[in-house]
């Protein structure tokens, strides 16, 4: 039978996952000649020569036997009539040429695989106790790549030439390190070194001995900076109150903010937390995120790991060094919290790490460059009605740079959504794909602003893209908004559009769930802060209409924020404001007298705030409809938390404290009413405080808190049902940071009539980390000609 030749062009996730070795071995197995090469747009070209039936079988098995991380965006076969000229199959040198089809992207950083862990454990392996062990199935990707195609010279591994043995592994088609770009060993790869507090190198070169020394020091109360894959962690004991308090004091703004921990294995987690099957799947996946788990009745870790909360952020080891540390420790858990202060980029340079972390006892640092910072992802699983839903608090390591697939296509344009200010994650859009960057953080400092620009620039380089148009937040004082011209100049575009914060939240749900932009929806946006179209601070909003033409039809009742940011830090100020809606001054003083200590000047400050409220002496910008600020006030009223030491703390602790209420059937019954004036609804949340006061001696603060949050969810759900009944709209989209609250979101979804369908964020964060995705969707619709004045 005459031989034929065909060209196969594939795009998707086909670089960095062992795809070329897979193609090579399959071709050799079937007797196909030809070659395979990486291309300059992260795609792959295969030239295959053989008998027609064999080539067809080869093509079919490329699809059915592909590596588990492989995703085909496009798979194009072109049969060639040229005479065959191959006498074997080979992996050819990569080319800068592009496929011209589909969309290709790199895999995220992949946690260390079981095979590599076994070698670390084995005394017979030449990679025994080598923390950088990796293969074609695991290891860093996004954090080490400088450019594409994904080949060793285009990664930071160019600094570590192969030794003869590693080169043999790399070129051996039967070895799992065949064309594994990060493969290395102790003789040729990166290594860890240990430094004391004063920066002096400690003369322990053996990697295992170094780990044994450190684990003993950690269990003796020392704090260690550990440079990892995408940044630097601070590691210490999870049961030693003294060292945890020392760490909190040293980190400055970390008075009560929870620390993430790393556990040796699932058995270790089971001793202090409740784990369901969905959480197990996340914890053990190749992504290895931090998962928020509920404490169990046997919780034995220090309360200073996550003060005032009923959940705890837990992850399993995802790098060789993590595994080695926990294997040698008697304690099965470690605090593993980011070393950088809040709002600063992660520390990745060795000298900077030692200069900035003066309070650390030891530095465990490696000599491999971290080309891109990449913080740990954080997820919680919420119950929504009868289902469970993944909720990102932070989408980063393990997911970046995977795209979100959209249902609209912008063709050859490239759009950029900047995001807002807090929890920033910018996003690019090319064709029908939206590609979020890694988690950047809160952009109020020039260092974080530059990190944001660098992360965007890196994505543009990887995808050989140039930005055509920018989207940003309507807030006039965000650094990302005031600097939009500078950002545009940096990336060579003058066209930009601002979008309202909460409409972008709703749009992010629409894109993720592929909601047709010509269909009308009801949108619920619940968060702490967002600049409204009227110049006020919104945060408890109900919209209706098409995504590109949303109309605000309801909101939480407006109340003053006495002192603006002071009311955020000290929510008793917001509480006083809300209480003026229901109580006279003397009554307010009576019901709050046990809470005055929350304010720096106590009674004097309470009277000052009330005087200002009586005079209505506030700018309109200090008026809000924020759900977050309302929940903060409830948290203070129930004496759960009266000072914000980290973003969202009073509301977060209200939820955590309320979830401790085990007898939910004995909850008080509260009702938050809403009313309609003209075409706008108002949810009168202040009415709940008089209801609390009537029964507060009969119930615990946990029961009262749970009932308040359920009543808010119930009111929002009932209101949406009424709007749905009047308009016939059946799709209800829910987003915003407060939608992470499991009590409220579960009640909203339960309350929604069975004829309606609710949609939430699952692939991106419902908080401000997902705003850029909504912005980019609204921008894409504008570019496609869908937009009106309301948007």
Give me the active site residues, please.
20, 38
Residues 636 and 575 sit within 8 Å (Cβ to Cβ):
yes
Residues 238 and 335 sit within 8 Å (Cβ to Cβ):
yes
Q: If we measure between CA atoms, which residue out of 525, 490, 491, 532 comes closest to residue 508?
A: 525
Adjacent-strand bridge partners of 72: 12
Main-chain dihedrals φ then ψ at residue 202, nearest 5 degrees: -90, 130
Residues 575 and 633 sit within 8 Å (Cβ to Cβ):
yes
Q: Is 495 helix (H, G, I), strand (E, B) or coil?
A: coil
Q: How far apart are CA 693 and CA 676, in angstroms?
A: 26
Work out whether strand 192-196 and strand 201-202 pair parallel, antiparallel, or are unpaired: antiparallel
The two counts, helices (H) then strands (E), for the chain are: 24, 32
What's the token pair of residue 264? 């040796």
Q: What is the DSSP letter of 448?
A: H
Q: How far apart are CA 239 and CA 438, in angstroms?
A: 31
- 149: preceding bond cis by omega (within 30 degrees): yes
Buried b (16+ CB within 10 A) or exposed e, 551-590: bbbbbbbbbbbbbbebbbbbbbbbbbbbbbebbeeeebbe
Long-range CB contacts (within 8 A, 24+) of 428-432: 428/456, 428/459, 428/460, 428/463, 428/465, 428/467, 428/776, 429/776, 429/779, 429/780, 430/103, 430/463, 430/465, 431/103, 432/103, 432/405, 432/406, 432/407, 432/408
Residues 339 and 285 sit within 8 Å (Cβ to Cβ):
no
End-to-end CA distance of the chain: 64
Q: Say how many C-beta atoms besides its own lie within 10 A of residue 755's C-beta.
A: 9
Which residue matches tokens 């009311």?
567
Q: How far apart are CA 375 and CA 397, in angstroms?
A: 6
What's the token pair of residue 347? 């520390």
Q: How far apart are CA 86 and CA 255, in angstroms?
A: 67
Q: Say how many C-beta atoms besides its own lie within 10 A of residue 646's C-beta.
A: 13
Q: Say how many C-beta atoms besides its own lie within 10 A of residue 761's C-beta.
A: 29
What phi-psi label fits residue 330: left (phi over 0), alpha (psi between -120 and 50 degrees) or beta? Answer: alpha
Q: Which helix (H) or strand (E) holds 546?
A: none
Q: Which residues lie closer than 8 Å to 120 by C-beta, 6 or more apart?
A: 127, 128, 129, 130, 131, 133, 320, 323, 324
């Amino acid at each position: 039978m005459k031989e034929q030749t065909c060209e196969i062009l594939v795009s998707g996730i086909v670089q960095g996952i062992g795809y070329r070795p897979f193609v090579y071995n399959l071709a050799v197995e079937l007797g196909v000649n030809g070659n395979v090469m990486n291309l300059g747009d992260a795609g792959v070209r295969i030239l295959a020569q053989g008998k027609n039936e064999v080539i067809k079988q080869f093509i079919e098995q490329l699809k059915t036997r592909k590596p588990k991380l492989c995703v085909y965006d496009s798979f194009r076969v072109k049969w060639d009539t040229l005479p065959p000229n191959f006498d074997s199959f080979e992996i050819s040198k990569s080319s800068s040429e592009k496929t011209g089809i589909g969309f290709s992207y790199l895999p995220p950083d992949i946690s260390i695989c079981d095979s590599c862990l076994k070698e670390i454990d084995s005394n017979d392996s030449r990679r025994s106790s080598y923390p950088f062990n990796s293969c074609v199935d695991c290891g860093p990707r996004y954090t080490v790549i400088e450019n594409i195609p994904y080949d060793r010279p285009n990664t930071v591994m160019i600094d570590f030439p192969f030794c003869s043995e590693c080169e043999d592994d790399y070129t051996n088609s039967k070895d799992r390190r065949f064309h594994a770009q990060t493969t290395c060993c102790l003789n040729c790869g990166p290594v860890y070194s240990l430094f004391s507090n004063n920066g002096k190198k400690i003369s322990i070169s053996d990697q295992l001995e170094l780990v044994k020394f450190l684990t003993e020091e950690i269990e003796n109360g020392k704090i260690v900076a550990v440079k990892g894959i995408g940044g630097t962690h601070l590691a210490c004991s999870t049961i030693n109150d003294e060292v945890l308090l020392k760490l909190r004091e040293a980190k400055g703004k970390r008075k009560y903010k929870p620390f993430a921990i790393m556990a040796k294995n699932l058995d270790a987690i089971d001793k202090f937390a409740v784990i369901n099957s969905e959480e197990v799947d996340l914890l053990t996946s190749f992504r290895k995120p931090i998962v928020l788990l509920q404490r169990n009745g046997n919780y034995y870790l220090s309360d200073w790991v996550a003060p005032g909360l009923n959940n705890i952020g837990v992850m399993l080891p995802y790098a060789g060094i993590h595994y080695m540390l926990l294997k040698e420790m008697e304690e099965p858990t470690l605090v593993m919290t980011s070393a950088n202060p809040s709002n600063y980029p992660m520390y990745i340079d060795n000298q900077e790490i030692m200069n900035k972390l003066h309070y650390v006892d030891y530095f465990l640092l490696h000599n491999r460059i971290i080309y891109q910072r990449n913080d740990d992802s954080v997820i919680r699983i919420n119950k929504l009605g009868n289902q469970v839903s993944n909720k990102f608090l932070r989408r980063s390591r393990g997911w970046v740079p995977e795209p979100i697939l959209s249902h609209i296509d912008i063709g050859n344009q490239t759009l950029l959504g900047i995001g807002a200010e807090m929890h920033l994650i910018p996003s690019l859009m090319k064709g029908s794909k939206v590609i979020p960057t890694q988690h950047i953080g809160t952009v109020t400092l020039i260092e974080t602003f530059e990190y944001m620009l660098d992360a965007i620039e890196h994505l543009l380089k990887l995808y050989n893209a140039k930005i055509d148009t920018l989207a940003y937040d309507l807030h006039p004082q965000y650094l990302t908004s005031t600097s939009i011209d500078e950002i545009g100049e940096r990336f060579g575009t003058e066209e930009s559009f601002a979008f309202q914060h909460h409409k972008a939240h709703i749009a992010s749900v629409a894109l993720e769930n592929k909601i047709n932009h010509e269909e009308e929806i009801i949108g619920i946006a619940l968060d702490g802060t967002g600049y409204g179209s009227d110049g006020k601070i919104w945060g408890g909003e109900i919209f209706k209409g098409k995504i590109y033409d949303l109309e605000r039809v309801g909101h939480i009742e407006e109340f003053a924020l006495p002192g603006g940011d002071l009311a955020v830090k000290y929510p008793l100020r917001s509480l006083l404001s809300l209480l003026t809606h229901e109580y006279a001054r003397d009554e307010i003083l009576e019901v709050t007298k046990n809470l005055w200590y929350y304010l720096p000047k106590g009674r004097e400050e309470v009277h000052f705030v009330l005087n200002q409220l009586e005079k209505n002496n506030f700018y309109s910008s200090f008026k809000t409809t924020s759900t977050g600020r309302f929940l903060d006030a409830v948290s203070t009223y129930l004496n759960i938390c009266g000072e914000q030491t980290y973003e969202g703390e009073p509301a977060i602790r209200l939820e955590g404290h309320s979830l401790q209420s085990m007898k939910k059937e004995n909850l008080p019954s509260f009702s938050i009413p809403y009313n309609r004036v003209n075409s706008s609804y108002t949810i009168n949340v202040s009415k709940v405080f008089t209801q609390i006061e009537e029964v507060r001696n009969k119930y615990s603060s946990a029961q009262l808190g749970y009932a308040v949050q359920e009543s808010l969810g119930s009111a929002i759900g009932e209101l949406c049902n009424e709007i749905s009944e009047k308009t016939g709209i059946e799709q209800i989209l829910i987003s915003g940071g407060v939608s992470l609250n499991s009590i409220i979101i579960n009640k909203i979804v339960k309350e929604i009539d069975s004829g309606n369908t609710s949609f939430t964020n699952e692939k991106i964060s419902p908080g401000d980390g997902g705003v850029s995705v909504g912005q980019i969707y609204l921008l894409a619709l504008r570019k496609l000609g869908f937009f009106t004045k309301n948007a």
